[in-house]
Amino acid sequence: MSIFINQDTKVLVQGITGNEGRFHTRQCLSYRTKVVAGVTPGKGGRKMDEVPIYNTVSKAVAATGANCSLIFVPPPFAADAILEAADCGLDLIVAITEGIPVMDMLRVKNLLTGSKSRLIGPNCPGIISPGQSKVGIMPASIHLPGAIGVISRSGTLTYEVVDQLSKQGIGQSTCLGIGGDPVVGTNFIECLAAFADDPATSGIVMVGEIGGTAEEEAARFIRDNLSKPVVGFIAGLTAPPGRRMGHAGAIVSGGSGTAAGKIEVMRECGIQVCENLGEFGVFCSRIFGGNL
């Protein structure tokens, strides 16, 4: 099993005719993801390789039964693209787009409240259930089917962690990047709860970074609700206060959001924290042991 996606997920790509959309759609297709449609206004009736293109999400859903959207729409229009997908009742919306204005995402977050649609992202690498489906931009070759769930705020750190896990023979059930923006659709706790309920996931890796309180909140949720082993990593241990490191949400203000503070809370809540990224795979092999 897996969380959020599987081999039966039917994906439509919003922005399929742009350079990024075309490239990554082909990568998803090569992974045998069921990409059933593309959406670009004004280009309906055409095809991108074997994928039919529609003018609207509603027409694509009606024609193909798509239940998931992968979004490569430029930042000024991405919020409306997310809402269009939600209006059509798609189960999952994965927004890769970086640079969506915070006010746009606040509007989206508010309008998605109570919706059946789950948003992953924006500014994220997407989600992959190895051997089943890939909805995003992550390099498929580094992933290995298995029993460890991976959640991360950082795309590139996700790749590094997954690569080290796979090289140690530690396969993954589902890997997803939730995005590093201040406002995201799905948070750590929602992912942790899904992994907790997934019988195919026996352990969890949580990769965080400086800024905000998401990791501390997740750690307390783990302490109170999870019995599966969790390994954590926090990027930005040497980041100076007031410096934004990469992501819009990764900013330390005063004593809040520091890597050291997050690590302390995580350890207090029973999470095994690795501080040396170069040894992450070996560290996980010791912790997960028989849970692989």
Residues known to be catalytic: 247
On the 0-12 / 13-18 / 19+ scale of CB atoms within 10 A, 283 is: buried
Could you give the angle at the alpha carbon of 195 between the alpha carbons of 180 and 29, nearest 5°? 70
Locate 42 and state its tokens. 């004004």
Task: Report the relative pairing of strands 126-129 and 133-136 from DSSP bridges.
Answer: antiparallel
3-class SS at 28? Answer: helix
Strands, DSSP E only, in the chain? 10-14, 34-39, 47-48, 51-54, 68-71, 92-95, 118-120, 126-129, 133-136, 145-152, 172-177, 203-209, 230-235, 272-273
- In the sheet that holds 272-273, the strands lie side by side as 133-136, 126-129, 172-177, 145-152, 203-209, 230-235, 272-273
| HSE-up of residue 79 (Cα within 13 Å, Cβ side) | 17
User: Do the Cβ atoms of 66 and 79 come closer than 8 Å?
Assistant: no
What six digits make up the tokens of 244? Answer: 């934004």
Q: Distance between CA atoms of 236 and 275, rounded to whole angstroms? A: 10
